[in-house]
Structure formats: structure tokens, C-alpha cells
Amino acid sequence: MKLANIHKHYVALLLIIGGFQSAQAQTWTLQQCIDTAQVHNKNLQMSRNNIAMGEQREKEAKANLIPKVTANADYKYFANLPYQLLPLNALNPAAPLGQFRAAQFGVPHNINPNLQLTMPLYTPQVYGAIQTTKIVSELTDLHYQKTEEQIYFEISNLYFNAQIMHHQLAFIDSNLINAERLLKNMQLLNEQLLAKGTDVSKVKLQVSQLTTQKETIKIKYEQVLNALKFAMGISIEQNLQIEPNIQYQNTNEYTPASYPSDQPRISLNRSVSYLAKNNTM
């Protein structure tokens, strides 16, 4: 029973892994690659961050025109107030002269609030900074559009090159199968003394050349796929398959405009009749 349960769990694990691999090995269209690059491409992410930074700088420059209110307060506490000597006869005329008494004036708590409103009317530095940040934001937007077009062109170029190499691999595989069949036939003919050894060597050389060519194109195909993954911003280890069929788009064919009247035809007939009369003269 334990072995049966282990076998069931093992089969379920294989099915899960197989389903995950099939999901990972989905076929990517050109539009899917472009959409993925617009989200995950590092250059586009840096350009979007630069655009956000430019917008924040422009807001910061415009914020200098907002009126500012400054409030502050000063609090002091006097633990020991100063003493002043007052003559006694100032308060009591009956008191003798030359006698003084110490008196304290004021309160120990002292609060001094201050409120200030500042409103800029015209500041050349502020308006210059606003214009500069605005121009920088426009340049950043143009740079983002340029980067986006470059990524679009790069991914399209890599995708089409991958499709071409895929067809080249299929063509070489078919030629290699035919060459191997031809080699077997030539070997049989050589055994029956109906072909020379040089003929067999030529076919072997052809098979070797096709095999080398297949390996070379296969390596280039992997390099193009890795470059496509890098441009899309996804992991190199991710399994990527492209559509082998190349979809052609028909271009618009422009037809000459038709004239509603026969005025050009009449003028052409008049010119032909005029030339005929001159030739007869």
C-alpha cells in the first residue's frame, strides 16, 4: 500500500511538472513580445522613472510661486525675576529718605508668537527654473518615445531573424535526412561495386557539412532568442518559443484617380489631330 501511494504521488508530481513545463513553453507572438518589453524592459523603466522625476521637479519649481505662511513662537520661563530697588518715600511720603526696598516686576512666563505671510510677485529665478524644468520634461518625453521605437524595432528584427533561422533549421533538417538516405544508397551501391569510394566520400562530406551548418545555425538561433529575452526584460532561463509562420501584411495599393469629365481626353485628341495636320503639310 505504501509503495502504491508513493507511485501515485510520483505520477501526480510528474503530471504537475509536465503541465508547468507546457505552460512555460507557450508560443509567443510578436505583439506579446512587444507588450512584455514595454512593461519589463529596463531602458523603458529608466525612461519612465526619468519622466516621473521631471514632473516632480517641475512641480517643485512651480511650488515656489505659492504664498508661504511662516509661523513661529518663542517661549521663555524666568525662574528668578530680577529685583529693582525703589525708594520708600516714592510709595510712602512719610517714610524716611535714603531707605530702599527690593521689588520684582514682570511674570515668569513669556510667550512671543509671530506669523509671517510671503507672496512672491515676480522672481526671475523662479520663472527661469519653471521654463527649464518644462523643457527638460519635454526632452525626457521625446527620449522615451525614441527608446520605445528602438525597442519596437529591435524586438521585431530579432523576432523575424528567429523565424528565418527556424525555417533554415527545418530546411537543413530535410536536406540532412535526404543526404543520409543518399549516403546509405551510395554505400549499398559501393558494396555492389556500382559506385566508387570517392562518391561515398563526397556524400559523407556533404552530410558532415550539413551537420556543421545545422549546429552553427542552431547556436545562432539560441543567441537570437537570448537577445530577444534580454530585450523583453525576462529571464534567460525562461523557455521561449516563437511562431514559425511568418505573417505577411498586404500593403495598400493606390489606384490612379478617375476624372469625372472627358476634358483630358478631348485635349489629347485635339493635340493628336494638330500633329497629324503638321505632318501632312
Q: Which three cell numbers stand for residue 211?
A: 551537420
Single-letter amino acid, residue 124? P
Calpha distance 1→8 (Å, rounded): 11
Sequence-ordered list of residues with C-beta below 8 angstroms from that of 179, at least 6 positions apart, any chain: 203, 206, 207, 210
Mean pLDDT of the chain: 78
Domains and CATH numbers, the chain: 28-66+121-243 (1.20.1600.10), 68-118 (no CATH)
| Residues paired with 69 in a beta bridge | 117
Taking residues 249-253, report their average pLDDT.
Answer: 61
Taking residues 127-140, report their average pLDDT.
Answer: 90
Q: What is the pLDDT of residue 10?
A: 41
Dihedral of alpha carbons 191, 195, 196, 201, sign: negative
Sequence-ordered list of residues with C-beta below 8 angstroms from that of 58, at least 6 positions apart, any chain: 130, 133, 134, 137
Q: What is the pLDDT of residue 49?
A: 93
Ordered DSSP codes for 237-249: TS--EE--SPPP-
pLDDT in tens, 226-238: 999 998 888 888 8
Closest CA to 114 of 65, 77, 75, 78: 75
Asked if 33 and 230 touch (Cβ cutoff 8 Å), the reply is: no
Q: What is the pLDDT of residue 122?
A: 79
Backbone angles phi, psi at 113, to 5 degrees: -80, 155
Single-letter amino acid, residue 185? N
Calpha distance 236→241 (Å, rounded): 13
Taking residues 26-31, report their average pLDDT.
Answer: 84
Asked if 27 and 241 touch (Cβ cutoff 8 Å), the reply is: yes
